[in-house]
Amino acid sequence: MLPTIDSQDVAGKRVLLRLDLNAPCDGMSVLDDTRLVAALPTIMYLIEHNAKIIIASHRGRPKGSVPDDNLSLRPIALRLSSLLGTPVLCAHDTVGSDARIKAASLGNKDVLLLENVRFDAREYSNDESYARELASLADIYCNDAFGCVHRAHASVAAITKLLPSFAGFLIQREIETLTQLVTQPAHPFAVVLGGSKVSDKIGVITSLLEHADTLLIGGAMCFTFLAAQGKNVGASLVQNDYLDEARRIMKLAQSKGVALLLPHDVVVAPSLDNTHDIQVVSVDAIPEHMMGLDIGPDSSHSFAEALHSARCVFWNGPMGAFEQPVFAHGTKAIAQCLADAPDTISVIGGGDSACAVARCGLSSKMSFISTGGGASMEFIEGKELPGIAALEACKVRTA
């Protein structure tokens, strides 16, 4: 068990709270506040227990140590203030004079948001000097940024050596949900995987095949599997270096009695940008000059049929290039199928899947949506996550 923030007396203490508030913005408007909403329980707990809250987060991937106004956390502070119903102060830096002065002057229940921690290049290198400067602002550290725990960054890993460190409620729930998924899922257990590359999902597939009853593969990655079966997939994306790996996975699924479903029809076009010459074709009749960009309507129906009997479904990766409405039908079909099955435990593996569900307006219909695409995949794969390992090591040191 991780050391958790509710095991501590935080009253009157300055708590450095690492969150993942990386949200798309248009000027000062936040376009998707999913991650902000997910962080609210821990923030509210600290407010209710009279802590002085100093939030550290990042946004985007700024280069070097030059602040970029387009990646500032100022719009995040405004939206977070609205969600909390209380003012959120905003520092102009992370460890400079403004941050130090504002952190020192906080009263109980006050909330301060530091500027983007990635504006300091030392964040990326897990630099202890940067972690020490951050730690000097606070008495306690709490990590609730699940979407960042697979990064060995200063505000995620190094800082745990410098302050009493604990996990927040979001990390607790993420770990509990994903652990259940890879150890004791409800059966029948169906896995839906999509996205672009087989190479990104090899470890995840291998891990989930230990418990899955059905594996459905869509997205561009399905064409590597179809090509591995000897099919001509036209100009579709294929990872030729992974054809043998695809064959291994299909053989492994068969040996474990897992039903592996691939599309039998697909939506094709000359390119992602050419939406005027779209066809629905059998996977056995993909034209040479066309590329597959979505699963077809018959495949959407058969995938949905396969999910109807599932008690638990894990979904990661869209079924097509869902950013283009004409190639979003397969992804919408999976989202709607899960939304229409309230008794099914539906776990969405973050990233594009979470974005797709949100675009469909069906987020509230899912049982759990992970806030960490990369982190959730690496957890399921069985990799050590630096942020989690650092918290566990902190517990050992203080035991």
Is 161 an active-site residue?
no
The pTM for the full model equals 0.90
**Range 199-204 contact pairs with CB under 8 angstroms and sequence separation of 24 or more:** 199/239, 199/241, 199/242, 200/377, 201/316, 201/317, 201/377, 202/242, 202/245, 202/249, 203/377, 203/381, 203/382, 203/383, 204/316, 204/377, 204/380, 204/381
- Candidates 292, 317, 349, 351; catalytic one: 351
Phi, psi of 315, deg, nearest 5: -130, 125
What structural domains does the chain harbor? 5-167+384-398 (3.40.50.1260), 175-366 (3.40.50.1260)
Position 40, amino acid: L
Q: How far apart are CA 161 and CA 135, in angstroms?
A: 10
pLDDT exceeds 80 at position 395: no
Q: CB 108: neighbour CB atoms within 10 A?
A: 14
Tens digits of per-residue pLDDT, 222-235?
A: 999 999 999 999 99
Tens digits of per-residue pLDDT, 185-242?
A: 999 999 999 988 899 899 999 999 999 999 999 999 999 999 999 999 999 999 999 9
Average pLDDT over residues 137-151: 97
Q: CB 92: neighbour CB atoms within 10 A?
A: 14
Q: In the structure, what pLDDT confidence band is assigned to residue 399 with cuts at 50, 70 and 90?
A: very low
Tell me the torsion sign for CA atoms 16, 17, 18, 20. Answer: negative
pLDDT, residue 216, reads: 98
- Candidates 13, 14, 18, 35; catalytic one: 35
Using CA atoms, how far residue 25 sits from 18, 90, 224, 232, 350, in Å, is 20, 17, 35, 42, 19
Q: In the structure, what pLDDT confidence band is assigned to residue 257 with cuts at 50, 70 and 90?
A: very high
- Candidates 197, 231, 248, 256; catalytic one: 197
ω before 188 within 30° of 0 (cis)?
yes
Is 35 an active-site residue?
yes
Higher pLDDT, 16 or 1: 16
